[in-house]
Structures are given as structure tokens and as C-alpha cells.
């Protein structure tokens, strides 16, 4: 795990992508006393960061001329590829000696391609996707670049891990997502089984938490599931579309390296069925309804 450094290592940081996650860790970077430059296709999404002290920049080219470090926080691997390797991408804009950091959830193979392309330009590239809303960051790339960028990484996340060379940050994130979301589907299926077999689902959830271990994240997810509280498209922070995409990428990783992914495939199928029902923009635990319908039983209690 990383070591802490002092505030004398403040840097000028550019952030491309100020959606929900970008806003969250961008505000942390500002509190870490770094200078923050921001850009997004929707300028209004950067308003809160600008109010907190960030400076709006009119596009990646202008940002590349000023920032020591440029971070992307984008919704998909295709968006990352376009912003980095496109004809007007960062690979053609950033000066020698700068550092590029992708904090999106993307793919190890794209991260390696980006690192190789940037290396030819004298720019270091790190893949550093965030987990648990920024509580953890696993970083892949050259160790020297990681050490240089550590003050920014530590400002963005609470626990920073160097996990190895290019692409291994994304690999660590996808393995983590595999465990997290396949486990969720297994527990949701278990609660449906409990209800079908005559047990009270809320009691069973407490029993599982007590005997198998619990966490604040699990309590929030299962508690909301039992209430039938799936959020709405405007407020959902853990959208089914995003979770399903992450698990699909993890299964694709397993396929590419020749590792079994039977549990992940089954869990991914449940999530995709939920997307097909139109629940992609609400919280991922809405997918429990797929299992309820299959079993002909409901685990959700009426909301008060």
C-alpha cells in the first residue's frame, strides 16, 4: 500500500470527465491543495467543482498545455480510447514528461495499448480505476510514474495500491468487480430461495450477515433491496448499466486469459435480464426482481 507524503508535492492536475465519479474525486483533489483544471462535454457538470476552486479549460488541447497530470473519468472503454488515441487525442497533445492517468473502469488490453503509445511520446500512463466510490485505487504502470503521481492519487482515494505494470490496475478492478457483483447475485438468489422455502427474507439477511460477515456496503445494498428501494434515474449512484458493463468486462478478461468464469457468466446473465427489463439506469440491486419472477416469490417488503 502507498505511503503518505506532504503537501509540498502539490501539482497542477487536469480532469476530463466530471460526471458523478469525476466530481467526487475531483473535490478530494482540490481539498488536497492541488490545482485542478476541468473539462467535460457538458460544462454544467463541472459547475460544482468550479465553484469549489477548479478552473474550466476549453478542451483537451488547452489542458495539455498547462497540466502536469491529466486524469480521465469516462463512461466506457470506447470513450477512453477516443479521448486518448484518437486523431485529436491526448497522445498527440501531452508534452514529454507529463503523466496520464485513467481512473475510468476500462480494459487491461486498452490500458496496455495506451501505455505503449504514450511511451513513444515520452509520456507516462497509469491505469488507476477507483473502487468503492474512491475508497480504493489499484494502480498499474511504471513504478517511477506512480511515485511521481502519488500525491494526486492519495488525494483522490483513501487507500492506494501499486499493483504492477501497465494494465494491471484495470485487471485488479475487474477481478474485484467480479467478486463483488457475482457475490451480490448469489446472495440475492439465496434470499429468493429462503423466501420460496418459507423463511422470512429480512431475518435471513440478518442471519447471513451475522454468520458470513457484513459490511456497510452490503448492509446498504441488501437493506435497500429488502425495502424495494431501487432509486431512480436521476439519483441512482450504482446504476445497473454500469455494474453489468463491469461484470461483462471481467468475464471477457477471464475468457482472454483462459480462466473459468462460470459464476460470473450466470451472474452477468441475471444483470443483463434486468437491463432488458428497462432497469439499467436505476440501482443494480433492482435485478433481484428477475430472480423473484423466476421463483414466483417476492423478498421485498412494502415500502413505508
Question: Residue 163: enclosing H or E segment and its boundaries?
Answer: strand 159-164
CB contact set of 257 (below 8 Å; sequence gap of 6+): none
Grid cell at residue 287: 435485478
Grid cell at residue 253: 478478461
Residue 100's closest CA among 194, 229, 215, 14?
14
Q: What is the dihedral of CA 165, 169, 172, 178, to 10 degrees?
A: -140
Measured from the Cβ of residue 273, the count of other Cβ atoms closer than 10 Å reads 17
239 is catalytic: no
Outline where DSSP puts E strands in the chain.
12-16, 35-39, 55-56, 69-72, 99-102, 124-127, 130-131, 136-140, 159-164
What is the maximal distance between C-alpha atoms in the chain?
65
Measured from the Cβ of residue 89, the count of other Cβ atoms closer than 10 Å reads 17
C-alpha separations of 169 from 45, 219, 294, 300 in Å: 27, 27, 37, 37
Rg value, the chain, Cα: 21
Q: Which of 173, 196, 227, 245 is catalytic?
A: 173
Q: How many helices and strands (H and E) does the chain possess?
A: 12, 9
CA gap 101, 63 in Å, rounded: 14
Residue 107's closest CA among 254, 259, 261?
254
Q: Which residues are catalytic?
A: 173
Amino acid at each position: 500500500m502507498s505511503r503518505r507524503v506532504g503537501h509540498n508535492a502539490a501539482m497542477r492536475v487536469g480532469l476530463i470527465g466530471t460526471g458523478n465519479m469525476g466530481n467526487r474525486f475531483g473535490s478530494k483533489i482540490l481539498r488536497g491543495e492541488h490545482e485542478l483544471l476541468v473539462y467535460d462535454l457538458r460544462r454544467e457538470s463541472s459547475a460544482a467543482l468550479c465553484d469549489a476552486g477548479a478552473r474550466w479549460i476549453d478542451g483537451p488541447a488547452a489542458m495539455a498545455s498547462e497540466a502536469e497530470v491529466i486524469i480521465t473519468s469516462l463512461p466506457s472503454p470506447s470513450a477512453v480510447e477516443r479521448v486518448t488515441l484518437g486523431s485529436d487525442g491526448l497522445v498527440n497533445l501531452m508534452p514529454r514528461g507529463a503523466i496520464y492517468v485513467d481512473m475510468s473502469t476500462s480494459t487491461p488490453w486498452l490500458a496496455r495499448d495506451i501505455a505503449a503509445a504514450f511511451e513513444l511520446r515520452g509520456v507516462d500512463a497509469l491505469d488507476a480505476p477507483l473502487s468503492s466510490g474512491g475508497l480504493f485505487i489499484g494502480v498499474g504502470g511504471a513504478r517511477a510514474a506512480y511515485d511521481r503521481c502519488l500525491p494526486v492519487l492519495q488525494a483522490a482515494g483513501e487507500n492506494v495500491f501499486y499493483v504492477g505494470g501497465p494494465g494491471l490496475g484495470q485487471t485488479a478492478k475487474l477481478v474485484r468487480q467480479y467478486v463483488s457483483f457475482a457475490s451480490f447475485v448469489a446472495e440475492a438468489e439465496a434470499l429468493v430461495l429462503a423466501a420460496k422455502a418459507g423463511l422470512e427474507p429480512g431475518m435471513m439477511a440478518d442471519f447471513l450477515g451475522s454468520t458470513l460477515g457484513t459490511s456497510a456496503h452490503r448492509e446498504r445494498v441488501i437493506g435497500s433491496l429488502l425495502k424495494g428501494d431501487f432509486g431512480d434515474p436521476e439519483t441512482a449512484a450504482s446504476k445497473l448499466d454500469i455494474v453489468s458493463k463491469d461484470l461483462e468486462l471481467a468475464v471477457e478478461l477471464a475468457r482472454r486469459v483462459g480462466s473459468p468464469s462460470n459464476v460470473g457468466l450466470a451472474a452477468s446473465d441475471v444483470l443483463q435480464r434486468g437491463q432488458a427489463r428497462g432497469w439499467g439506469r436505476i440501482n443494480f440491486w433492482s435485478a433481484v426482481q428477475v430472480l423473484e419472477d423466476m421463483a414466483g416469490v417476492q423478498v421485498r417488503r412494502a415500502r413505508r
